[in-house]
């Protein structure tokens, strides 16, 4: 792969950046990352790309963050090569995505803008997370809080690849602008929604926009930084979370107190986010104009002009077909619709007259099963899915399967123990104010971010011959112990300190699990050559560190999938290095056809993490809807009518309106407490497969070499980037 460099007379104008980096490390999240839960609807949660509650994005904290490695490679044949050139031409015409010659001043402004925008996004996540329970309660549908999480989880699982491809084809500025627009549309629809259906629909737009912004921020970092500085710079979008987690709940309480409604907590971001994005947008536009002018000027001097737009237009249909094929659009639609039709009915069954006997509920579930079966058939057909979301070859690698299973179960457990009803439990059963209940729930995200960062630093800098497996064992031990501790807190009068300790232990375990598991998944999918292993393991550490910190947080899975599987020249490199053993890792990886499966393996892992969260939310909704109404009917004093009991069940505001220590409030608290105990018991049972899967992971050893600025990096044709 060749790199284009500027002419000498441009050397003093700006900072030289590679026009086509051989390896792009992208952190996407939230949810990863771990914080993924917050952003899912509430606003904040687990990792950056995560770090949105992840679901909170569901949690900005689980919001786990999504980090991906994109290996740019040459095309397999002349047709693909021509299409790739046209694709690149389109990118350059549209701004190229930000890989150009930035001035030092412009780059400083851009990174400062990234920080301000990240701060706004993170703060929004914390505020809206604290208000989400009040939002659904205003529609008298508090039990459907889990439905909102399911919608967000399913959508987050499949939205990352399209967003990444849009950024590559149409440009970074356009992709950023579209993501901001979708976020604003989600805020607006949420603030004016009159029923839970509209509110849940708004989360689709919000999730698409917030996930897109998380991904694009990390793509920008990859575009404009060297490998030496990338780990530090990629933490910029995640860093505000360490502050906003403590002030967001106070702002949410202020919104409720000053305005009397939760709606302003969503509406204010329709103004704040565009204003926060404006400096970055202007920086991207200014740099694109400057780069295009210099490119045009160099073309005049050398006589080497790019193809005219007519030539690009003639190839437009081919490029569009290529993009759609590489995105595996049919597979995405089959998976998302199938999961939605299976999981959403689980949260709705308690609200229909015939319950599980309702023909509509059964019909949706059966249709979903058929669609998921169709997805598996589609993915297994090379003819129809040349770039599948999950290549069958990866399923032959034990550590890959075990790693994906760990991601699935640990996020499922999160949605059984913390999301979506733990916050409501703190408000109603323990009578904690928003300013305390919010930080308690978000302590998970805070701890997971810190744990992921510390684990990555130790693996990279302080341990000789580091292995991910010990961190897996430590993480699963903390995670299981925290669930046990949470079970002990299911009593009236429990100390806030104990709640914080349990959430911190749970978050620390999740952070360690996410970092170590993502490393294992990526290592299990790499071709085992000495050169590749040396470079890849170091980059994976950078990837995992950022990914986990963004919870809620989650990446450009597609680009990884598309480009790593389409490397024609990579075969030559792999053949040359085939006989070079990779020490202990020899024989443990899967060799791809013309490249490694690092990108697609990471994408599959992050997708299954989100799916696990959606499954956990669906189970929580089914348990909550099946138990709470009956327990309220049993424990409430006889003077409480059936209609009053329904109002209590449908709204945390009504539930909290009864005086503390009154017979009514005690009955409500008991119903909440016993139901949460059931959910935590299920979470504890789910820790069993989590532990067993951890034992199945191979003991990979990361290479001792550390990446430095002088360390050669492999490019698409097996050469070295100078």
User: Over the stretch 155-202, which tens digit does the pLDDT of each residue have?
Assistant: 777 777 777 777 777 788 888 999 999 999 999 999 999 988 889 889
Asked if residue 659 is part of any domain, the answer here is no
Could you tell me if 177 and 256 lie in one domain? yes
Other Cβ atoms closer than 10 A to 470: 14
Kindly report, residue by residue over 18-66, the tens digit of the pLDDT.
Answer: 333 333 333 333 333 333 333 333 333 333 333 333 333 333 333 333 3
Residues 354 and 252 grouped into a single domain: no
Tell me which H or E stretch contains 34: strand 23-35
Which of 347, 363, 386 is where one domain is finished?
Answer: 386
CA distance 493 to 490: 9
Q: What length is written for the chain? A: 722
Task: Mean pLDDT check: name the lowest of 51-65, 214-228, 364-378.
Answer: 51-65
Residue 39 falls within a domain, yes or no? yes
Structural domain contains residue 447? no
pLDDT tier at 703 (50, 70, 90 boundaries)? low
Contacts of residue 420, defined as CB under 8 A and 6 or more positions apart, other chains included, come to: 58, 145, 146, 148, 149, 617, 620, 621
Range in 303-317, 353-367, 680-694 with the lowest mean pLDDT: 303-317
Q: Which of 339, 358, 386 is the last residue of a domain?
A: 386
- Residues 209, 356, single domain; the answer is no
Q: Which DSSP state fits 15?
A: B
* 660: in domain: no
Residues 289 and 342 occupy one common structural domain: no
| Structural domain boundaries, residue 360 | 329-386
pLDDT at 699: 82
Q: Which residue has the higher pLDDT, 143 or 502?
A: 502
Q: How many domains does the chain have?
A: 2
Q: In sequence order, what are the beta bridge partners of 592?
A: 595
Contacts of 545 (CB under 8 A, 6+ apart): 67, 231, 234, 235, 452, 453, 455, 456, 457, 515
Residue 599 maps to a domain? no
Token pair recorded at residue 605? 């892992």
Decide: 43 and 61 in contact? Cβ < 8 Å: no
Assess whether 95 and 214 both reside in one domain.
yes
Find the mean pLDDT for residues 420-445. 88
**Residue 526 predicted with pLDDT over 90:** no
Distances (CA, A) of 608 to 57, 106, 359: 16, 38, 29
- Measured CA distances, 592 to 562, 579, 580, 652, 675 (Å): 12, 16, 16, 52, 47
pLDDT at 690: 94
Q: Are residues 249 and 349 in the same domain?
A: no
Q: Beta-carbon neighbour count of residue 145 at 10 Å?
A: 28
Does residue 164 fall inside a structural domain?
yes
pLDDT for 226: 65
> What's the Cα-to-Cα distance from 299 to each of 17, 92, 356, 599, rounded to whole Å?
19, 13, 68, 35
CA–CA dist 122, 248 (Å, integer): 9
Residue 531 has pLDDT above 80, yes or no: no
Residue 338 lies in a domain: yes
Q: How far apart are CA 447 and CA 646, in angstroms?
A: 37
In a domain, 538, yes or no: no
Same-domain status, 190 and 335: no
DSSP string, 183-248: HHHHHHHHHH--SHHHHHHHHHHHHHHHHHHHHHHHHHHHHT--HHHHHHHTTTTTTTHHHHHHHH
The 8-class DSSP code of residue 461 comes to I
Q: Are residues 62 and 181 in the same domain?
A: yes
Number of H helices, E strands in the chain: 25, 3
Q: Determine which of 445-449, 599-603, 606-610 has the lowest per-residue pLDDT on average.
A: 599-603
Cα 146 to Cα 368: distance, rounded to the nearest angstrom: 18
Phi and psi angles of residue 19, each rounded to the nearest 5 degrees, phi first:
-75, -25
Highest mean pLDDT among 97-101, 145-149, 538-542: 145-149
Could you tell me what percent of the chain has a pLDDT over 90? 20
Whether 195 and 68 share a structural domain: yes
Q: Identify whether residues 362 and 268 lie together within a single domain.
A: no
Residue 168 belongs to domain with CATH number: 1.20.1250.20
191 shares its domain with 57: yes
Cβ-based neighbours of 439, under 8 Å, separated by 6 or more: 245, 246, 249, 500
Identify the three-state secondary structure at position 62. strand
Q: How many CB atoms lie within 10 A of CB 384?
A: 14
Half-sphere exposure of 111 (CA within 13 A, CB side): 18
pLDDT category of residue 545 using cuts at 50, 70 and 90: very low
Residue (of 506, 514, 436) closest to 478 by Cα position: 506
End position of a domain, from candidates 338, 357, 386: 386
Are both 266 and 353 inside the same structural domain? no
Please compute the mean of the pLDDT values over residues 550-576 and round it to a whole number.
38
DSSP-based three-state secondary structure for 354? coil
Closest CA to 42 of 114, 177, 134: 134
CA 565 – CA 562 distance, rounded (Å):
6
Report, as an integer, the average pLDDT of 700-709.
Answer: 50
Q: What is the DSSP letter of 19?
A: S
Query: Which residues does 110 contact at the CB level (< 8 Å), separation at least 6?
Result: 102, 220, 224, 280, 283, 284, 287
């Amino acid at each position: 792969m060749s790199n284009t460099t500027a002419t000498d007379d441009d050397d003093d104008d700006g900072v030289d950046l590679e026009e086509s980096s051989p390896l792009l490390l992208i952190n996407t999240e939230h949810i990863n990352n771990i914080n993924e839960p917050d952003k899912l609807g509430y606003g904040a949660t687990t990792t950056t790309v995560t770090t949105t509650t992840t679901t909170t994005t569901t949690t900005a904290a689980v919001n786990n963050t999504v980090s991906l490695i994109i290996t740019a490679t040459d095309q397999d044949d002349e047709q693909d090569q021509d299409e790739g050139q046209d694709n690149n031409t389109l990118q350059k015409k549209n701004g190229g995505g930000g890989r150009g010659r930035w001035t030092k001043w412009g780059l400083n402004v851009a990174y400062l803008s990234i920080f301000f925008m990240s701060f706004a996004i993170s703060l929004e996540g914390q505020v809206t997370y604290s208000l989400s329970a009040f939002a659904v309660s205003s529609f008298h549908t508090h039990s459907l809080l889990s439905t909102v999480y399911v919608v967000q989880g399913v959508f987050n699982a499949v939205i990352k690849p399209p967003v990444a491809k849009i950024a590559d084809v149409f440009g970074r500025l356009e992709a950023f602008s579209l993501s901001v627009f979708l976020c604003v549309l989600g805020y607006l629809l949420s603030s004016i929604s009159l029923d839970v259906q509209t509110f849940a629909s708004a989360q689709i737009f919000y999730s698409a926009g917030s996930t897109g912004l998380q991904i694009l921020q990390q793509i920008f970092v990859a575009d404009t930084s060297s490998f030496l500085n990338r780990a530090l710079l990629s933490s910029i979008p995640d860093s505000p979370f360490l502050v906003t987690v403590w002030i967001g709940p106070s702002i949410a309480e202020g919104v409720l107190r000053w305005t009397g409604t939760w709606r302003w907590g969503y509406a204010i971001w329709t103004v704040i986010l565009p204003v926060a994005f404006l400096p970055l947008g202007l920086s991207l536009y200014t740099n694109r104009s400057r780069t295009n002018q210099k490119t045009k000027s160099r073309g005049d001097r050398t006589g080497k002009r790019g193809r005219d737009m007519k030539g690009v237009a003639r190839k437009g249909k081919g490029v569009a077909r290529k993009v759609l094929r590489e995105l595996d659009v049919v597979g995405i639609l089959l998976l998302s619709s199938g999961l939605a039709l299976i999981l959403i009915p689980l949260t709705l069954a308690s609200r229909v007259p015939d319950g599980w006997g309702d023909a509509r509920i059964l019909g949706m579930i059966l249709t979903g099963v058929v669609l998921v079966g169709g997805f598996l058939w589609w993915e297994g057909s090379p003819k129809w899915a040349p770039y599948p979301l999950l290549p069958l070859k990866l399923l032959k690698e034990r550590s890959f399967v075990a790693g994906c299973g760990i991601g699935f179960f640990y996020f499922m457990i999160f949605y059984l123990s913390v999301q979506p009803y733990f916050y409501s439990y703190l408000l109603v059963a323990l009578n904690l104010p928003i300013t305390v209940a919010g930080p308690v729930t978000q302590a998970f995200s805070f701890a997971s971010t810190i744990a992921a960062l510390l684990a990555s630093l130790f693996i990279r800098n302080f341990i000789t011959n580091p292995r991910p497996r010990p961190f897996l064992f430590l993480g699963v031990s903390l995670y299981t112990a925290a669930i046990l501790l949470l079970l002990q807190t299911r009593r009236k009068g429990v100390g806030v300190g104990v709640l914080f300790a349990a959430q911190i232990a749970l978050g620390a375990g999740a952070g360690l699990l996410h970092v170590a598991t993502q490393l294992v998944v990526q290592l299990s999918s790499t071709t085992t050559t000495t050169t590749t292993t040396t470079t890849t393991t170091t980059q994976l550490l950078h990837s995992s560190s950022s990914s986990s910190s963004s919870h809620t947080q989650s990446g450009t899975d597609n680009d990884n999938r598309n480009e790593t599987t389409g490397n024609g020249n990579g075969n030559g490199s792999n053949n040359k290095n085939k006989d070079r053993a990779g020490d202990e890792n020899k024989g443990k990886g899967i060799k791809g056809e013309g490249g490694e499966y690092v990108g697609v393996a990471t994408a599959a892992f992050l997708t299954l993490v989100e799916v696990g969260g959606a499954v956990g939310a669906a189970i929580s909704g089914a348990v909550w809807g099946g138990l709470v109404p009956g327990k309220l009917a049993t424990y409430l004093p006889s003077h409480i009518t059936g209609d009053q009991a329904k109002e209590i069940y449908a709204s945390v505001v009504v539930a909290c309106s009864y005086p503390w220590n009154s017979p009514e409030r005690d009955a409500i608290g008991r119903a909440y407490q016993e139901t949460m105990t059931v959910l935590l018991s299920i979470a504890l049972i789910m820790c069993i497969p989590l532990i067993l899967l951890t034992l199945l992971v191979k003991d990979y050893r990361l290479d001792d070499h550390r990446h430095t600025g002088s360390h050669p990096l492999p490019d698409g044709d097996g050469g070295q980037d100078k």
